[in-house]
Amino acid sequence: MSLAADYGAVFTRWNTWALMANQDISMRYRRSFLGPFWLSIALGSLVLGIGLLFAEVQRQPFRDFLTFFGCGMLAWTYLQTVTSEACSCVIDNEDNLRNLPLPVPLLSARVAYRNLVMFAHNAVIIGVMIALLGKPLTLLSLWSLVGLALYLPFALFLGAVLGPICARFRDVPQVIATIMQLMFFLTPILWVPHEAMSRPIIYEANPFYHLLEVVRAPMLGQMPTDMNWIVSVSTVAILGVLAVIVTALTRKQIFLWL
Amino acid sequence: MAAKIKLDNASFKYPIYALASRSLKVSMFRQATGGSIGDKGGVVYVQALSNISFELSPGDRLGIIGRNGSGKSTMLRVLAGLAHPQSGTVTVEGRVVPLIEKALGINPELSGYANIELPLRLLGATRAEVKKAQQEIPEFCGLGRFIHLPFRTYSDGMKTRLAFAISTALQADILVLDEWLAAGDLEFQERAEVRLTKLLDDTEIVVLASHAPQLIEYVCNKTLWMHGGEMVMLGPTREVLEAYQRSTHNPISLAYAATG
């Protein structure tokens, strides 16, 4: 098998990653009526509780802020979960990889798709919340789907980059977890950026901000800026190049690192 | 295209990472200082295969015999395309189905029936192959309505039956087997044997690693005797097994030699 075949497998063997991801989701429904919705409910109550508090702290109208925070958390949950699961996509498949030739992109496609299903669950809860808050979605909100379409290659490439690295260097997942915790506070999710900020570079230099905006802004009835699109697409493109490089360098080594 | 396996002077070694060298910090520190810390950064190598050369063509059934740690499993993993030798070349042509570990991809929470697909998909099965397996496996296993109960509720015998049926459902050009598949003391020995024999007959090249000379003698026409990662002898099964048994002063295998 070659490098191209490793990535081609994402298309030719989509049954395999889709089946793995569907089994992951169905495991969360096992003997539980709400299954993965429990995670969505946890997210919803977090948004409601923290949202009300921070609306007060930041003197924001609570309807607007809750909508902003809810949509932000919806997108952030995807970005953050795929980043942490990207780290474990190879390690979690040690048994399989020791005994079967499985391309890494297949394993990261599983993560990307599984979290898309989780996103859909969360979107139901957040959607209901937004509707109750009297902030209905508009036609413009459909642009969120375009933004979401960028999340899939983002997750796919991230797993192909981080999966093998984390298998070799087992403390990288901890480093990534620490960074992501920091990123949550550096990215405008819990706080609203405003014109008067003297250093907008704090969030403008953060690719997660732009990735967040391409999904969040349309939900809030705004079009993402050109800058948002450019940075998001470039981030995915750069990750894509890194992914191919990492795969080329590690595809014959991963077996040694399990 | 006929199946083919060719190894030319292939050598493979496993690095054993001391815990310290798996950490990024140590690795960066090593780069920064430009030297090496301790014993090559704490990496110790185990030479698992040394200078292995052989060639197999359709009709060949190769048995690999040797003690624990002689390199049998590594050999299977090289042929399966998992382990890539650091030196020498490996050419494998044809569809390889590796059956090295039992029950890969089986999810104990799912029903026996629902568990048929993933193990096959992991082995690269097509939709048509999955469909066919889903039809014939329940019948072959004879699990009755148990096929729709979770795998974890099965008795050991039932689990083995299903795992065996799944593993033997795919037609390959090259089969790479560990002995579990052929040596299991299956309740349904006879039907299993028929099924396995048919599978092997329809496969161009079979490679089987085992401790058991009886099994190798039954399946294989060629045998490779390995010791310490090196080829000791490769040739017709009977000759190699006789030499192997002379070298191991194991009363059981001596008894076998006397009766055989």
Which member of B15, B22, B81 has the closest CB to residue A101? B81
The pTM (predicted TM-score) of the whole model is 0.89
Q: Residue B17: its chain A contacts at CB < 8 A? A: 257
d(CA A110, CA A18) in angstroms, rounded, equals: 6
From B188's Cα to the closest Cα of chain A, the distance in A is 26
Q: What pLDDT shows up at residue B6?
A: 96
Q: How many CB atoms lie within 10 A of CB A245?
A: 12
> Residues of chain A with pLDDT > 70: what percent?
100
| pLDDT: which is higher, B25 or A230 | A230
Helix axes A62-88, A172-186, angle to 10 degrees: 170
pLDDT on residue B34 = 41
> Domains of chain B (ranges plus CATH)?
4-94+207-248 (3.40.50.300), 100-203 (3.40.50.300)
pLDDT category at A29 given cuts 50, 70, 90 is: confident
Q: The tokens of A59 are what?
A: 């003197």
Q: Using an 8 Å Cβ cutoff, are B3 and B205 in contact?
A: yes
DSSP codes joined into one string, A85-148: HHHHTTGGGHHHHHHS---HHHHHHHHHHHHHHHHHHHHHHHHHHHHHTT----GGGGHHHHHH
Q: Are the C-beta atoms of residues B166 and B198 closer than 8 Å to each other?
A: no
CB atoms within 10 A of CB A179: 12
Give the C-alpha distances (Å, rounded to integers) separating B91 from A37, B4, B64, B80: 49, 8, 18, 11
CB of B120 within 8 Å of any CB in chain A? no
Cβ separation of A99 and B82 shorter than 8 Å?
Answer: yes
pLDDT at B255 (0 to 100): 54
Neighbours of B242 (CB within 10 A): 13
Q: Are A75 and A61 in contact (CB under 8 A)?
A: no
How close B258 comes to chain A (CA, Å)? 37
H/E segment holding residue A207:
helix A207-219
How far from the centroid of its chain's Cα atoms is residue B246's Cα? 26
Please tell me which residue of chain A has the smallest CA distance to B28. A169
Inter-residue long-range contacts of A34-38, CB under 8 Å, 24+ positions, other chains counted: A36/A117, A36/A118, A36/A121, A37/A121, A37/A124, A37/A125
Nearest-by-CA chain A residue for B83 = A255
Cβ neighbour number for residue A195 with a 10 Å cutoff: 5
Using a CB-CB distance cutoff of 8 angstroms, which residues of chain A are in contact with residue B109? Answer: 27, 30
Residues A109/A10, Cβ–Cβ less than 8 Å: yes
pLDDT digits (tens, 9 = 90+) for A107-158: 999 999 999 999 999 999 999 998 898 877 888 999 999 999 999 999 999 9
Residue A112's identity, in one-letter code, is A
Question: Rounded distance, CA B33 to CA B35, Å?
Answer: 5
Rg (CA), chain B: 21
Q: What pLDDT, on a 0 to 100 scale, did the predictor assign at position B182?
A: 63
Residue A198: per-residue pLDDT: 78
Task: List pLDDT tens digits, range A40-63.
Answer: 999 999 999 999 999 999 888 989
Asked if B4 and B79 touch (Cβ cutoff 8 Å), the reply is no
Distances (CA, A) of B121 to A128, B73, B104, B195: 38, 23, 11, 21
pLDDT band at A95 (very low <50, low <70, confident <90, very high): very high
Crossing angle between the packed helical segments A62-88 and A207-219, to the nearest 10 degrees = 130
When the pLDDT of each residue in chain A is averaged and rounded to a whole number, the result is 93
What integer is the mean pLDDT of A181-208? Answer: 89
d(CA B23, CA A210): 32
CB atoms within 10 A of CB B14: 15
Q: Residue A182 and residue B194: Cα distance in Å, rounded?
A: 61
Nearest CA in chain B to A168: B22
Residue B122 with chain A: CB contacts under 8 Å = 16, 96, 100, 102
Q: Is A255 on the interface with B (CB under 8 A)?
A: yes
Q: Are A144 and A212 in contact (CB under 8 A)?
A: no
How big is the CA angle at A215 (ends A210 and A216), to the nearest 5 degrees? 85
| DSSP H or E stretch at residue B78 | helix B72-79
Name which residue leads in pLDDT, A188 or A201.
A188
Q: Which residue has the tokens 């990662």?
A: B229
The rounded distance, in Å, linking the Cα atoms of A54 and A51 is 5
Q: Are A119 and A77 in contact (CB under 8 A)?
A: yes
The angle, 0 to 180 degrees and rounded to 10, between the axes of the packed helices A172-186 and A143-168 is 150
3-state secondary structure B4-69: EEEEEEEEEEEEEECHHHHCHHHHHHHHHHCCCCCCHHHEEEEEEEEEEEEEECCCCEEEEECCCC
Q: Name B209's bridge partners.
A: B64, B178
Print pLDDT tens along chain B (260 aa).
689 999 999 999 988 876 555 666 666 655 554 433 345 556 788 899 999 999 999 999 999 999 888 999 999 999 999 999 999 999 999 999 999 988 789 999 999 999 999 999 999 999 999 999 999 999 988 888 999 999 999 998 888 889 999 999 999 999 999 887 765 555 567 888 888 889 999 999 999 999 888 889 988 999 999 999 999 999 999 999 999 988 876 655 555 555 54
